[in-house]
Copies of this chain bind each other. A is one copy, B any other.
Amino acid sequence: MTVNYVEPRVSGTVPTSHVDLTGLDALATPRGIAIFGASSDPTKIGGRPLRFLKESGFGGGIHPINPRYDEVQGVRAHASLDDVDGPVDLAVVAVPRDHVLPAIEACGRKGVKVATVFSAGFSEQDDEGAERQRRLLETAKAVGVRILGPNTIGSLNRRTGAVGTFAAATGVRPTRPIHGRAALVSQSGAMAAHWVVEGLDRGIEFPTWIATGNEGDIDFADALAWVALHDDAPVIAAYLEGARDGDKLREALAIAQQRGKTVVMLKVGTSEAGARAAASHTASLVGADQVFDALFRQYGVIRVHSMDEVLDLTYAATVGKAPEGDRVGLFTTSGGMGILMADVATEAGLQVPPVPNALRAELRAIWPPAGVNNPIDLTAQVMNSETLLGDFADVVLREKQYDCLVMALTYMGRLEPWTDLVVSMLGRVREAHPDVPLFIAMLATPEVRSAVEELGIAVFPDVSAAVRAAGRLATHALEAGRATDDRGGGAAPRIAADGAVTEVMAKTILAEAGVPVVEERVVTSAEDAAAAAEAVDGPVVLKVVSPDIPHKTEVGGVALDVRSGDAAAEAYTRIRAAAHSARPDARVDGVLVAPMVTDGVETILGAFNDPTFGPVVLFGLGGVLVEVLGDVTYRLAPFGPQTGMEMIREIRGFAVLDGARGRPPVDLDALAQALSALSRLAHANRDVLDSVEVNPFLARPRGHGGLAVDALITTRTGRRS
């Protein structure tokens, strides 16, 4: 394997206000590594790091710390870190929990930058362990040592040979040439180790990986930000259960996005049963899975839901290359496989444009029985011809109508006499079309896989997995082409911290924030009712305003479709009389006059204050069915109208807004602006806000904007700490 050693960049070049990168370079480029509890048994947890270090090519000092021996596994040992000569930047701590604290103190004296603590028995165990961890971290902070863990499997940097792990996976070496390389950041050591082993089987190596364990100090966000800044892997595979500090995670993802990294994220805890399994989490944290989803969308993260997908996409993105658009050409050896590919491509959001007519004729001239639409069915003849695949690819790609090709070649890579043929066929296609991403679905021997991967072509055993990988990477590339970190701009009004916000106040605040609100007036005379009605363009409604009359229609307290000032005056008088007659004791504050809007689609705009991520904005259509179906989408505030438009377009019921059943399409721009305005308002008041609900917000036909008809703002009693 070629080691591409990368000089770490100075952390200070990227402004970070939440993540803390202090000392993390020591995980990659320590001048020396000390091992507390180093064992002479190379299979024990205390023995493995030393064994791995001896084999890793690490160039710095290796210092076993063990008071019982002068040497361990043939390496000079010391009774204490204080006795070690030369610099030590990284310490591996593999001692029982009660011996960790003195080890950290010794690290402090020696100037160690990071101590990786394998030891268990801390916050993952019980309250006593949590207290033990608190004391450990307090000491580490006092002596200036950062902690990875405790209860972590550690980290590895194969580029420098810096081993800080006991994972048995470290000893597993590839049995065939590997062409995919990615970084890995994980909150679970077992998950990281599993990916390392399975990755090698699939053709990916993780030369840099960090598992964060209990996250007493260095957490997922720190590790992700460090890898994004200092590792040259273009892809980061990540495993996440939850986050304590939402701002930190958001910053780390923003850094990864700015650095152009492709983050493939397995975030678990989507279900109630999963939440129960995540014993270390509060229910609210795991319950906020939709908020994580919103975060990932905002920062261009490829979210997946299985280990298979993590590895498939990491493999596809590192061995091959991502398509820059969503137009796919599908090659197949059989009609059936072609139909399946077209189905999956559609499901994966890819376009399957037909082959232009002129080119079809050319293809037919090459091999008359071929299917020359898209999918392109080369028939089993591809197995009998040295030239057919390449000739077809040349024709199909000539007009640059396809952003990538997916080719299903059944078992050609698995059976004689086709194994050599398929490698040379694909070599010719790659040579002729070096920039076209190719995704191959076929069964293949390890040798054939490596040979094809060396061409920069990803090979999948399953045709659906190949098409889906192309689809996910294409979608990601298209999303990455949009503006990043769309935080919007503009001022927002402040909401008073204490006291109730009435509906009138809420509407005033929203209007000031830029959310259009229905123009309504409360009047207390027939004359004012007439004037208010005349000020409105179109019919109005009148409603009695009284805290004592909840059901206004029943008492005759409502008049609809009032079309003149006179009619409004009359309605005013009638409503007052009816209210008095039905409820003589009721307080009546007046009568509300508002335009009667009948051409709007009811939507809901809302914001709530997530305990981890702060204000989150939601959008959905109105009505009980939407609630039942959960057809609601979220984004972290603040954001600009572009993000608002993404929200609108991603609900399943979008067609209702876009002119379903012959209705006029609604004013999507106004809706997107309103969402952005709401997000700015929520963000500006995150210290006092509990929630905002604009329900309904009427989305009116294009050019007519929208109107908040009802609004509720609630504030917290206490302030955010």
Contact B340 A266 (CB under 8 A): yes
Question: In the bound complex, how far is the Cα of B625 from the Cα of A187, in angstroms?
Answer: 41
Q: Which of B125, B186, B239, B463 contacts A307 (CB under 8 A)? A: B463
Chain B CB within 8 A of A704 CB: no
The contact string, 1 if C-beta is below 8 Å from chain B, for chain A 338-362, is 1111111111000010100000000
Nearest-CB residue, chain B, relative to A281: B339
Residues in A237-266 with C-beta less than 8 Å from chain B: 239, 241, 266
Contact A188 B336 (CB under 8 A): yes
Question: In the bound complex, how far is the Cα of B409 from the Cα of A354, in angstroms?
Answer: 46
Contact A278 B188 (CB under 8 A): no
Which segment of A47-55, A81-89, A157-165, A191-199 sits at the interface? A191-199
Residue tally, chain A, CB below 8 Å to B: 87
The contact string, 1 if C-beta is below 8 Å from chain B, for chain A 406-440, is 00001100110100000000000000000000000
Nearest-CB residue, chain B, relative to A194: B410
In angstroms, how far is the closest chain B Cβ from the Cβ of A618?
Answer: 17
Nearest-CB residue, chain B, relative to A172: B415
- B residues in contact with A189, CB < 8 Å: 334
6 further contact pairs, Cβ within 8 A, besides A273-B343, A274-B340, A306-B462:
A190-B380, A191-B334, A270-B346, A271-B347, A273-B352, A279-B373
Contact A269 B629 (CB under 8 A): no
Chain B CB within 8 A of A589 CB: no
Chain B CB within 8 A of A583 CB: no
Question: In the bound complex, how far is the Cα of B306 from the Cα of A463, in angstroms?
Answer: 8
The answer to whether residues A306 and B411 also contact, given A334-B189, A653-B625 and a CB cut-off of 8 A, is no
What are 15 A-B interface contacts by the 8 Å CB criterion?
A: A168-B415, A169-B411, A188-B336, A193-B411, A197-B415, A198-B443, A268-B336, A268-B343, A271-B342, A273-B342, A279-B335, A306-B462, A307-B464, A621-B625, A627-B661
Contact A337 B627 (CB under 8 A): no
- B residues in contact with A341, CB < 8 Å: 277
Chain B CB within 8 A of A461 CB: yes
Contact A241 B339 (CB under 8 A): yes
Contact B274 A343 (CB under 8 A): yes
- B residues in contact with A1, CB < 8 Å: none
In angstroms, how far is the closest chain B Cβ from the Cβ of A326?
Answer: 13
Q: Which of B191, B345, B414 contacts A273 (CB under 8 A)? A: B345
Contact A339 B274 (CB under 8 A): yes
Q: What is the count of identical protomers in the complex?
A: 2
- B residues in contact with A375, CB < 8 Å: 277
Question: In the bound complex, how far is the Cα of B343 from the Cα of A239, in angstroms?
Answer: 14
- B residues in contact with A624, CB < 8 Å: 656, 660-661, 663
Q: Which of B191, B201, B307, B371 contacts A279 (CB under 8 A)? A: B371
Q: Which of B414, B465, B631, B660 contacts A197 (CB under 8 A)? A: B414
- B residues in contact with A186, CB < 8 Å: 336
Chain B CB within 8 A of A626 CB: yes
Chain B CB within 8 A of A14 CB: no
Contact B464 A410 (CB under 8 A): no
- B residues in contact with A280, CB < 8 Å: 335
Contact B340 A268 (CB under 8 A): yes
Chain B CB within 8 A of A131 CB: no
Q: Which of B239, B307, B334, B661 contacts A188 (CB under 8 A)? A: B334
Question: In the bound complex, how far is the Cα of B196 from the Cα of A443, in angstroms?
Answer: 12
Contact A278 B335 (CB under 8 A): yes
Chain B CB within 8 A of A365 CB: no
The contact string, 1 if C-beta is below 8 Å from chain B, for chain A 428-469, is 000000000000000100000000000000000111110000
Chain B CB within 8 A of A623 CB: yes
The contact string, 1 if C-beta is below 8 Å from chain B, for chain A 199-235, is 0010000000000000000000000000000000000
Chain B CB within 8 A of A141 CB: no
- B residues in contact with A339, CB < 8 Å: 241, 268-269, 274, 277-278
Chain B CB within 8 A of A548 CB: no
Chain B CB within 8 A of A599 CB: no
In angstroms, how far is the closest chain B Cβ from the Cβ of A647?
Answer: 17
Chain B CB within 8 A of A655 CB: yes
In angstroms, how far is the closest chain B Cβ from the Cβ of A271?
Answer: 4
- B residues in contact with A307, CB < 8 Å: 340, 462-464
Chain B CB within 8 A of A652 CB: yes
- B residues in contact with A625, CB < 8 Å: 621, 623, 625-626, 653, 656
- B residues in contact with A464, CB < 8 Å: 305-308
Question: In the bound complex, how far is the Cα of B270 from the Cα of A467, in angstroms?
Answer: 15
Question: In the bound complex, how far is the Cα of B119 from the Cα of A369, in angstroms?
Answer: 13
Nearest-CB residue, chain B, relative to A621: B625
Chain B CB within 8 A of A515 CB: no
- B residues in contact with A653, CB < 8 Å: 625, 628-629
Chain B CB within 8 A of A135 CB: no
- B residues in contact with A198, CB < 8 Å: 411, 443, 461
Contact B269 A337 (CB under 8 A): no
Residues in A293-316 with C-beta less than 8 Å from chain B: 305-308
Chain B CB within 8 A of A702 CB: no
- B residues in contact with A197, CB < 8 Å: 410-411, 414-415, 443
In angstroms, how far is the closest chain B Cβ from the Cβ of A654?
Answer: 8
- B residues in contact with A631, CB < 8 Å: 629
In angstroms, how far is the closest chain B Cβ from the Cβ of A617?
Answer: 22
Contact A274 B346 (CB under 8 A): yes
Residues in A72-121 with C-beta less than 8 Å from chain B: 120
Contact B191 A337 (CB under 8 A): yes
Q: Which of A345, A346, A374 counts the most B-chain CB atoms under 10 A from its CB?
A: A346
Question: In the bound complex, how far is the Cα of B687 from the Cα of A341, in angstroms?
Answer: 37
The contact string, 1 if C-beta is below 8 Å from chain B, for chain A 366-383, is 000101011100001000
Contact B277 A342 (CB under 8 A): yes
Chain B CB within 8 A of A633 CB: no
Chain B CB within 8 A of A276 CB: yes
Contact B273 A336 (CB under 8 A): no
In angstroms, how far is the closest chain B Cβ from the Cβ of A201?
Answer: 7
Nearest-CB residue, chain B, relative to A654: B628
Question: In the bound complex, how far is the Cα of B564 from the Cα of A347, in angstroms?
Answer: 57
Nearest-CB residue, chain B, relative to A347: B271
Question: In the bound complex, how far is the Cα of B370 from the Cα of A120, in angstroms?
Answer: 13
In angstroms, how far is the closest chain B Cβ from the Cβ of A120?
Answer: 7
Chain B CB within 8 A of A333 CB: yes
Q: Which 10 A-B pairs have the closest CB atoms?
A: A188-B336, A190-B334, A271-B346, A273-B342, A306-B464, A273-B352, A274-B343, A274-B342, A268-B339, A628-B655
The answer to whether residues A335 and B188 also contact, given A343-B274, A410-B193, A653-B629 and a CB cut-off of 8 A, is yes
Question: In the bound complex, how far is the Cα of B340 from the Cα of A197, in angstroms?
Answer: 18
Chain B CB within 8 A of A128 CB: no
